[in-house]
Amino acid sequence: MEKNSVFTTDTLRQEILGFNLQEEDFRKGLPLSPTRDVKGNNECLNLTRPDVIRSIHRAYIQAGADIIETNSFGANALVQQDYGLESLVPQMAFEAARLARQEADAAPRKVWVAGSMGPGSKSLSLVADFARPEWRPCSFDEVAAAYEEEARSLIEGGVDLIMIETCFDALNAKAALYGVHRARPGFPVIVSVSVSGSSARTLTGQSLEAFFLAVSHAPLAAFGLNCSMGAEGLLPIVRDLASWCPVPVVCYPNAGLPNADGGYDESPETMACHMAELDGLVNLVGGCCGTSPDHIRAIPELRARTVPQADKQLKVSGLEAWTLEGDLTSALSTAANVQESPEFAGMMEREEYDDALYYASEQVCEGASVLDINLDGLPDTPAAMERFVRLIQSDPSVSCAALLIDSSDWETLLQGLKNAQGRCLAGPLNPEDPDFEEKAAILRSLGAVVIGPNRGLLC
């Protein structure tokens, strides 16, 4: 087994605190005036204090990091619009990549640069207003466009790969992957998830395997965990992940749990001791919040995990992962199909969405692992699909199941996929249609398994 590569992540955010920078350091030299204080908006420093960012990169390289991350965790239009700086995102991201690239290229050994893309500040799955559970502060297309802009600038600036990290919502991660794909198809990407406690679930309640399935359509260079907690707390979760994940596993935990002041007290020696338990379980290791160059320097050499072959069985997901065996029909509930359920059709025609959601949940509770959603024939079918799928995401009793987005209308198919956080099935598409390959490619880029007529699995 080869040893793991060691890398750093947004730990540079922690190191920035050590420079005791003031508002003027973040503001002076910006091409336009922010609408609020920007101290703590670290991406500004790529433009105002590049010397600080370069010195931090240099320190981690000297500590032994094989991969360094760009200072671009929040270089995203949806984040920067809170400061009135969204127009600076391309410049912020490009400079973040350029500064890291300069230090990596000046190193006496090979050092890779990963373009950091954080989870953003808005969730596509979590309910933002309980009085309007179908409302979201932004759309999939808006999130994807923001990530596309950031990814394009990072790639132009010279990164070797993209790191979509600290993910807590798989739908946001799918939007990020879609954005990267639009910026540069096939560009290497790592997805790293933040989980809550020993349950190994994301903030949306999704299991780690269900999350992986949701993003598994992308050619992932690695998948794993960051932030969350210390290495000691992540160990049992990583051990389980290593047992089934068909791509290289990445793990970069915090330096223990935060103290009452939000700081991290775990020493490099203690963290290294816990990291040693990851021997043979991971392929990339590093540190997240609270990990200094000394922490990176202390990480022991670990044997790299042997990546198992991918399971050939078809798997889909909602909040839970599901393996489809045999005929799809045996796993399917048509309770949310207006063509096959008169009761559901009546509720939807009367816009009794809450009743329709409860009706669907009863069928899922009886054991269905896939819920067939067909709303064809309703007024403004794409809008109805968007609303109903968003309501499903707000109800764990329904969203635990995978979804079959079932429609003969193209825009309705897209709206269903752009509002579901799991790995869905979608269609039907007819392989004999002249635009089949183009449409199938789009559905796959949104994470879907494509079905054909009579619910046959195509790709």
Q: Which tens digits make up the pLDDT trace of 352-407? A: 999 999 999 988 888 889 999 999 999 999 999 999 999 999 999 999 999 999 99
Final residue of a structural domain among 273, 298, 323: 298
Report phi then psi at 298, rounded to 5: -85, -15
E strand or H helix that includes residue 24:
helix 23-27
Check pLDDT > 60 for residue 303. Answer: yes
Same domain (yes/no): 334, 438: yes
Q: Is residue 320 part of a domain?
A: yes
For residue 3, pLDDT over 70 is answered with: no
Confidence of residue 8 (pLDDT cuts 50, 70, 90): low
Is the pLDDT score of 186 beyond 60?
Answer: yes
Q: Contact, 280 vs 5, CB < 8 A?
A: no
Asked if residue 253 lies in contact with residue 213, where contact means CB atoms within 8 angstroms, the answer is no
CATH code, 429: 3.20.20.20
How many beta carbons lie within 10 A of that of residue 281, not counting itself? 21
Q: What span, in angstroms and rounded, lies between the C-alpha atoms of 444 and 159?
A: 26
Q: Rounded to an integer, what is the distance from CA 114 to the centroid of its chain?
A: 15
Cβ(121)–Cβ(78) below 8 Å: yes
Residues 34 and 74 in one domain: yes
357 and 409 together in one domain: yes
Reported as a single tens digit per residue, the pLDDT across 101-159 is: 999 999 999 999 999 999 998 999 999 999 999 999 999 999 999 999 999 999 999 99
CATH number at 119 reads 3.20.20.330
- pTM, 2 dp: 0.96
What amino acid occupies position 30?
A: L
- Residue identified by tokens 């979201």 is 136
Do both 234 and 346 map to the same domain? no
Contact 454, 424 (CB under 8 A): no
Mean per-residue pLDDT for 429-433?
A: 94
In a domain, 234, yes or no: yes
Q: Is residue 261 located within the same domain as residue 344?
A: no
Domain membership of residue 207 (yes or no) is: yes
Report the greatest alpha carbon distance in the chain.
70
293 and 392 share a domain? no
Q: Span 284-303, mean pLDDT?
A: 92
Whether 306 maps to a domain, the answer reads no
305 lies in some domain = no
**260 and 342 both lie in a single domain:** no
pLDDT in tens, 110-124: 999 999 999 998 999
Quick one: 131 and 204 in the same domain?
A: yes
Q: Please say if the pLDDT value at position 413 is more than 80.
A: yes
**What does the alpha-carbon distance between residue 308 and residue 83 come to, in Å, rounded to a whole number?**
45
Domain count, the chain: 2
Point out the domain boundary residue: 274, 298, 322.
298
Please indicate, yes or no, if residue 303 is contained in any of the structural domains.
Answer: no
Higher pLDDT, 456 or 344: 344
Strand 449-450: give its sheet, edge to edge: 332-337, 370-374, 402-406, 425-427, 449-450
Task: Pick 253 or 260 by higher pLDDT.
Answer: 253
Report the mean per-residue pLDDT for the chain: 93
pLDDT at 232 over 80: yes
Q: Are 99 and 140 contained in the same domain?
A: yes
Say if residue 257 is exposed, middle or buried (CB neighbours under 10 Å; 0-12, 13-18, 19+).
middle
Residue 328 tokens read as: 């799809």
Between vectors from CA 205 to CA 410 and to CA 8, what angle results, nearest 5°? 95
Residue 2 pLDDT exceeds 60 = no
Are 429 and 436 within 8 A, CB to CB? Answer: yes
pLDDT confidence of residue 10:
46
Taking the CA of residue 266 as centre, how many other CA atoms within 13 Å lie in the half-sphere pointing to its CB? 25
The percentage of the chain sitting over the pLDDT mark of 90, rounded to a whole number, equals 85
Residue where a domain terminates, one of 298, 323, 357: 298
Is there a domain that residue 343 lies in? yes
Instruction: Say if 231 falls within a structural domain.
Output: yes
**Residue 345 and residue 264 share a domain:** no
Q: Give the domain extent around 446.
A: 314-455
Q: Which backbone phi and psi does 81 adopt, to 5 degrees?
A: -65, -20
274 lies in the same domain as 398:
no
Residues 356 and 267 in one domain: no
User: Strand locations in 350-401, DSSP E?
Assistant: 370-374
Token pair 């990169």 in the structure block, residue: 57
Please give the C-alpha separations between residue 379 and each of 266, 297, 340, 383, in angstroms, as whole numbers: 58, 61, 18, 9
